Amino acid sequence: MDEEKLNMLTSLFKKSDRILVAFSGGVDSSFLLYVLNKFTNSEVKGLTIKTPYIPQWEVDEASSFCKKHDIDHQIIELPFPESVINNPGDRCYRCKKILFSKISEYAQTEGFNIIADGSNADDTGDYRPGMKALKELEIHSPLLELGIGKQEIRNKLKEFGLEVWNKPAYACLLTRLQHDVKVENKALSIVEKAEVYIKELGFPGTRVRLHGDLARLECPPTQITAICSAETSKNISEYIKNLGVKYVTIDIDGYRTGSMNSEKSSDYE
């Protein structure tokens, strides 16, 4: 990303603006929140929504990022929305509508005149029904508006010396579960604990997809050989089975987005 684009981003806002950034802790929202806080004279705050299907470690990382960079930050907890309890095919639209409606309420109550999210230019090339909810609620997406893409964001974060520049992409835990099946707390717990364990073994970005009693692991293709080694696969299998799963498999196709989707029914996952 050249300086011109960075200047265009910061010049979108006035000193009098009070900006509330929907902050997941991911690469894109981290970049947006950091830049607006550091390079504008606007009042900026990050707001993170915690739901039962958002891993606690993601919320903790978001909080840690804001503390480290002296950014005002608020976490709001929401109960499991009834409209997504059965993990419907359009759950991303429903979820974003609920979450961003809550963010809008917070912004109105606290006097923020702008709500911004980290959607970027690359998001237009994927099937993302959640974007529809953002448009309906008039959420600003500055990175998308200026044509700033993911790689530019990562490069600039690296240039800034921020540790999140190479953070893997993540999605909510519902993307690991089958559609149109009631979501149980046990299933969410299995996925979260399993993915944390696998991450700590040195395989970040691995997805644990649940199909009833079977856990299907998707990891980056370059890591398949290592994760399939006798000792590593044995440790992973034993750990996940102890969580309450009967069968553990490695998907030889590796990680790909939306593999639990049917007929493109949800976001990039």
Q: Which CATH number characterizes residue 243's domain?
A: 3.30.70
Could you say which of 121, 140, 166 is where a domain stops? 166
> Same structural domain for residues 154 and 201?
no
Backbone φ, ψ for residue 266 (5° rounding): -150, -175
Q: With respect to residue 267, please indicate whether it lies within any of the assigned structural domains.
A: no
Q: With respect to residue 258, please indicate whether it lies within any of the assigned structural domains.
A: no
In tens digits, the chain (269 residues) has pLDDT values of 778 999 999 999 999 999 999 999 999 999 999 999 999 999 999 999 999 999 999 999 999 999 999 999 999 999 999 999 999 999 999 999 999 999 999 999 999 999 999 999 988 765 566 788 898 998 999 999 999 999 999 999 999 999 999 998 888 999 999 999 999 999 999 999 999 999 999 999 999 999 999 999 999 999 999 999 999 999 999 999 999 999 999 999 998 876 665 434 333 34
Could you say which of 166, 201, 224 is where a domain stops? 166
Q: With respect to residue 9, please indicate whether it lies within any of the assigned structural domains.
A: yes
> Same structural domain for residues 108 and 17?
yes
Instruction: Classify the C-alpha dihedral 100-21-207-268 as positive or negative.
Output: positive
> Same structural domain for residues 229 and 96?
no
Query: 201: which 2 tokens?
Result: 């073994």
The CATH number assigned to the domain holding 110 equals 3.40.50.620
> Same structural domain for residues 183 and 207?
yes
> Same structural domain for residues 192 and 132?
no
Amino acid (one-letter) located at 56: Q
Query: 108: which 2 tokens?
Result: 């109105």
Could you say which of 136, 166, 196 is where a domain stops? 166
Q: With respect to residue 81, please indicate whether it lies within any of the assigned structural domains.
A: yes
Q: Which 3 state secondary structure label does DSSP give 53?
A: coil
Length of the chain: 269
> Same structural domain for residues 98 and 224?
no
d(CA 107, CA 101): 10
Q: Which 3 state secondary structure label does DSSP give 176?
A: helix
Q: How many domains are contained in the chain?
A: 2
Q: What is the pLDDT of residue 2?
A: 78
Q: With respect to residue 264, please indicate whether it lies within any of the assigned structural domains.
A: no
* Local structure of residue 80 (DSSP, 8 states): P
Q: With respect to residue 263, please indicate whether it lies within any of the assigned structural domains.
A: no
Q: With respect to residue 262, please indicate whether it lies within any of the assigned structural domains.
A: no
Q: Read off the pTM.
A: 0.89
Give me the domain span that covers residue 202: 173-250
Q: What is the pLDDT of residue 1?
A: 75
* Range list of H helices, the chain: 3-10, 27-39, 56-68, 91-110, 130-136, 142-145, 150-160, 185-200, 224-227, 230-242
Q: With respect to residue 256, please indicate whether it lies within any of the assigned structural domains.
A: no
Q: What is the pLDDT of residue 259?
A: 66
